[in-house]
Structure 1
Amino acid sequence: MFARIRRLLSQFFSKSRTINNEPLNKVSLVVIILIDIFILINVFTGLDDISRWYISPNQAYPCYSEWQDYRTKTTKDKDYEIVRLSLPNNAKYQLSLQQNYQQVEVGHLGNASKTCLQYANYKDKINNPEKQQIVKTIDQKQAKITRLEQDDRTIKAQYNSTLLERIAGQDRQESINQVSAEKAKQALEQNNRQISTLNQENSTLKNELLGKPESISFIAFLKDDNQFREVDQGYHQASFWYPTIQLAFQFLFLIPLILIALSVHKFAQARAYGLISLISWHLLVIFFIPLIVKIFEFLQIGAIFEFIFKIISILFGGLLFLISYIYILLIPIIGFGIIQFFQKFVFNAKVQTASRVQKSCCVNCAKKIRHFDTYCPHCGYNQYIECQNCHNLTYKHLSYCKHCGISQDSSNL
């Protein structure tokens, strides 16, 4: 196993830095590395773009977060707060909320939730000049309340200081405070009366706003359990499948590039086009790097992770650290499987040798040679091995002796 891995690594580095079995000069190597970096950056950019082609759960269910917050809140003014969010300050120059929800569909796959579009329609009906003026008045009164409360805190601080001065017997003219205790008390009482009045006025305005037909319809819609359940289930289902969909689109982006690079590399090897073979090999490696990275990312956040997470949660409760154990065992197995796949099907020495022997090419460098050449005149590789049965010379890496037909698998190891 380790000998095979060492041989693969040796072949990998040999292919990456030689042209026709001759080492690259330093300038050419630097140019190749710069090209690799440039292409790799663009590959990752393309993967990022195509992963966003299908709309995300937040885009498909844009109302979910706000709706979920509303249903979990326990504050007294939560109805007013959700209606208040329907009245943005610069709404005059914006598209309607429903149009904003639908805009994500332009140039993307997938559709916004119909329930969320209905949610947006209710909010758009609330958003009109009359209700905007009510909210503006409430905000102005609330700002005045905030200023009065700030004044109260300042006066209370001075009032407490004045009381301490009086207790200490300090003369009024020597006081550092501008407000006497009597005046401070009067100011506090007056401010508190104003605050109480403003709070009452705001309460009336909020009730007026919530009493509008559009607001009543919207609040009733928000409290409909069936409507929210549909959005909640849809959002969680979309979140579950979204990483898998992203990986599928990234595969669609990478697989054609890998197949093209692999075809060009095999063609260049067969025709002994050294530079094309080198560049196509580098492209093949570059296209595989993000593919492997994305697969491992998917294993951390995709449907497989969710499946393992649920099983462990059911069987072992809170012992979620066991997921790490599973991945420690699972990832090497997957890596071994990938190595075996490429060793047996993509870079299989027997398959390559059979093709090269049929074309009278060197079994090592794939350049044309004469059929009776023992050593390749291009790379010096010995084409033959002695058969353990008949002791005649037969081709390396092929399964059977060309003289006696006995299996050569043990001798080719």
Structure 2
Amino acid sequence: MKKQFAALKNRLTSISREEPLNKLSLTAIIILDIIILHILFIGLEDHTRQLTSASEYMPHTAREMVIQQSWTPANRISKLQPLVLADRNNLRYRYESPFDEQKIKVMHPDAQRFYSQAKILSEDKALHSLFLNRKKAAEERSRTENAFEKAKKSYDTQLLENIANAARTGANAAATTAQQYNEKIGRLTGEIDALENGINAHPGIQTLWKIVSPNDAERDRIVKDYKRFQFWFPLKELAWQLVFLLPIFGTFYWWNSRSIKKDNPIQTLISSHLLVIASLPIILKLIELVIDLIPEHFFKNLFKFLKSLHLMALWHYFLIFAIIIIGLLIVCFIQRKLFNKQKVLQKRLARGACTACSKRLPPGAVYCPFCGTGQLRTCTACGKQTPSGGACCIHCGTNQTGH
């Protein structure tokens, strides 16, 4: 495994052992990698969007109506109104109707019933007119109520001032204005009540209200279906994303293997980078699935079990020891892979420094003038003296790291 990673690293950063990749070419390739990776994620997002999500399976309005049961006889007309008038009120060019057949087709059966019936109601011209008139009357009443509140505050202020000045002319005028607003509010409320009575009397609305008010058994069934969909959705999403990613990964893997077999350095370099780029989304999606499922299911049950036994302290002990172990592994990796003895010696040799004390040596020095350490050793192959920090003999090229 270690040798394979080292070989992959060489293929990513050099054309061949004799021809290393210069920094400008490597920069250009990395920029291309970033562009291709960006396009790959955009394509993955567009492909994933074709899969039915939880919000499409049970839209917000349906969840609010059936699961949360926040639609009551007092507010359900107000909640239904924006949906019935949705197609009329939206002016965006890229607007998508909530009653699109493809959208309704992928919904939960009970949500389908609701949206199909709401679509029929939105196309009823007489009912549409009732909702539109109610909307206008409600907006007018809202404006009048705001004006009434302002007039009431003005009346209260003037009344206090007039009491102090022993005059009531301004207060009477303010009271008259407030009374007019109050009368208008009453008239508009009567209009809205009459319109709502007309809406409730419509046969299609009565059918919809039956759908909106499921009994407890029906609600429990719908909630169970929705939870089941949410549970399996991450696995379905990953499988659907792999349908998009695996052919690309397979193509790049085949190209890379063929390039290595035919010893084509340029194609090996490019295909190696593309293979890594195609691997990243797969690895990230697998990690995302693990992170999504493990905390949601495993840890939830684990915490529940520990709490029932009053042993939550065990979890914190585990976290402390886990962090210590991770820290030790990180330190070991840094020391053994990045700053091991052989690499330190090679860096000191490259700087012309002593392999022991790291102080710069005079040109041609065999021993360090500061600590007296010898800078040469005998090659096991040719028997000649070679720098002790070097990986290979300077005379015969034999690798010295294994001796």
TM-score by length of 1: 0.65
Secondary structure of 2:69's aligned partner? helix
Q: CA distance change for structure 1 residues 325 and 78 in 2, over 3 Å: closer, same or farther?
A: farther
Match of 2:116? 121
- Quote the Cα distance in structure 1 between the aligned partners of 2:46 and 2:397: 46
Shift of 1:71: 0.7
Match of 1:102? 102
Q: CA distance change for structure 1 residues 55 and 381 in 2, over 3 Å: closer, same or farther?
A: farther
Match of 1:353? none
Match of 2:205? 215
Q: CA distance change for structure 1 residues 49 and 183 in 2, over 3 Å: closer, same or farther?
A: closer
Match of 1:31? 28
- Quote the Cα distance in structure 2 between the aligned partners of 1:191 and 1:56: 48
Shift of 1:317: 5.5
Instruction: Indicate if the aligned counterparts of 2:66 and 2:214 stay in contact, CA closer than 8 A.
Output: no
Q: 1:224 aligns with which of 202, 214, 217?
A: 214
Q: C-alpha root-mean-square deviation of aligned residues, in Å?
A: 4.0
Q: 2:158 aligns with which of 155, 159, 162?
A: 162
Shift of 1:70: 6.2
1:280-299 residue pairs with structure 2 within 5 A? 280-299=271-290
Q: CA distance change for structure 1 residues 286 and 273 in 2, over 3 Å: closer, same or farther?
A: same
- Quote the Cα distance in structure 2 between the aligned partners of 1:257 and 1:201: 63
Unaligned runs of 5+ in 1: 106-110, 173-178, 333-379, 384-411
Unaligned runs of 5+ in 2: 327-395
Secondary structure of 2:117's aligned partner? helix
- Which amino acid is 1:147 matched to? R
Match of 1:67? 65
Q: CA distance change for structure 1 residues 297 and 117 in 2, over 3 Å: closer, same or farther?
A: same
Match of 1:45? 42
Match of 1:249? 240
- Quote the Cα distance in structure 2 between the aligned partners of 1:160 and 1:34: 70
Instruction: Indicate if the aligned counterparts of 2:99 and 2:116 stay in contact, CA closer than 8 A.
Output: no
- Quote the Cα distance in structure 2 between the aligned partners of 1:183 and 1:247: 70
- Quote the Cα distance in structure 1 between the aligned partners of 2:185 and 2:253: 77
Match of 1:148? 144
Instruction: Indicate if the aligned counterparts of 2:56 and 2:103 stay in contact, CA closer than 8 A.
Output: no
Q: CA distance change for structure 1 residues 34 and 206 in 2, over 3 Å: closer, same or farther?
A: same
Q: CA distance change for structure 1 residues 278 and 90 in 2, over 3 Å: closer, same or farther?
A: closer
- Quote the Cα distance in structure 2 between the aligned partners of 1:90 and 1:51: 27
Please say if 1:240 is aligned against 2:235: no
Shift of 1:281: 1.5
Q: Residues 228-269 of structure 1, C-alpha deviation per residue, up to 9 Å, x if partnerless? A: 444433322222222211211222333333333333333322
- Which amino acid is 1:48 matched to? E
Secondary structure of 2:107's aligned partner? coil
- Quote the Cα distance in structure 1 between the aligned partners of 2:269 and 2:201: 74
Instruction: Indicate if the aligned counterparts of 1:51 and 1:246 stay in contact, CA closer than 8 A.
Output: yes
Identity level (%): 22
Q: CA distance change for structure 1 residues 232 and 184 in 2, over 3 Å: closer, same or farther?
A: same
Q: 1:263 aligns with which of 254, 263, 268?
A: 254
Q: CA distance change for structure 1 residues 116 and 28 in 2, over 3 Å: closer, same or farther?
A: same
Match of 2:266? 275
Shift of 1:23: 0.4
Match of 1:134? 130
- Which amino acid is 1:268 matched to? S
Instruction: Indicate if the aligned counterparts of 1:240 and 1:306 stay in contact, CA closer than 8 A.
Output: no
Q: Paired residues, what number?
A: 320
- Quote the Cα distance in structure 1 between the aligned partners of 2:104 and 2:315: 39
- Quote the Cα distance in structure 2 between the aligned partners of 1:85 and 1:70: 19
- Which amino acid is 2:127 matched to? K
